[in-house]
Structure 1
């Protein structure tokens, strides 16, 4: 029971963090682009893994645009090499999420699981991993309180 109470307390604290709430909203927007493309490609007869990868890549572009302006706006590098490195790290986190998405959807298809269900599971896994990477690495605040990398 104590574990459940601690988990609930942590969840409430996390929900108070507006950055996390904004990240959820941005993720919903990027997910709409991702799933919309995925479902359209499936309807056109594309194989599930390439359809998932294409949708995810379109979602990545959407996520950068929204994240850098609405979620991590206070820790986006102002320009130059810092901004380039930040974009590279963002893409790196997205590639990790993409790899997870492709692996999960592919394994699900091989196991006979509906690709839409596999994709939903992949979304949850990818969301958790990329949020951790983006908040701790890509958009981390410098120790001096300045902008991230």
Structure 2
């Protein structure tokens, strides 16, 4: 039974990585586009991250944690609220890190890459252990 559980976790993290790559594509594409039209880096990072949040919810609830989506409408609303909360933590990290890199005169794109790594780890932990926690 332990081997089956480990296998499910391994598959889930692979799917989460794939979902994150998809959401990151949305995020980075918009981020680069907004920088190209001279939007301030921190604002561009915030807006593009929000677009990535929507994409990530769709991927996560349908392909990563589909077996852990609440059955009741109330339960799904709670999960969505918790997901948004986890995304806001990621958004704060992203905005803060990109803003700091920009303030220090560093390349905002490098700051965004650092923020992506930090946000990935933190949101995975929140989503796998809180938002879509296994019942029982």
* Fold match by TM threshold 0.5: yes
The equivalent position to 1:22 in structure 2, one of 7, 10, 15, is: 15
User: Post-superposition, which runs of at least 4 consecutive aligned residues in structure 1 deviate over 3 A?
Assistant: none
Give 1:6's aligned residue: none
Paired with 1:73 and 1:80, the residues of 2 have a C-alpha distance of: 15
Deviation at 1:43, TM superposition (A): 0.1
Deviation at 1:130, TM superposition (A): 0.1
Q: Which aligned pairs between 1:107-126 and structure 2 lie closer than 5 A?
A: 107-126=100-119
1:100 maps onto 2:69 in alignment? no
Structure 2's unaligned 5+ residue stretches are 1-5
Q: Is the partner of 1:67 in helix, strand or coil?
A: helix
Structure 1's unaligned 5+ residue stretches are 1-12, 144-149
1:37 maps onto 2:30 in alignment? yes
Deviation at 1:79, TM superposition (A): 3.1
Total equivalences in the alignment: 131
- Bigger Rg over Cα: 1
Q: Is the partner of 2:21 in helix, strand or coil?
A: helix
For normalisation by structure 1, the TM-score amounts to 0.85
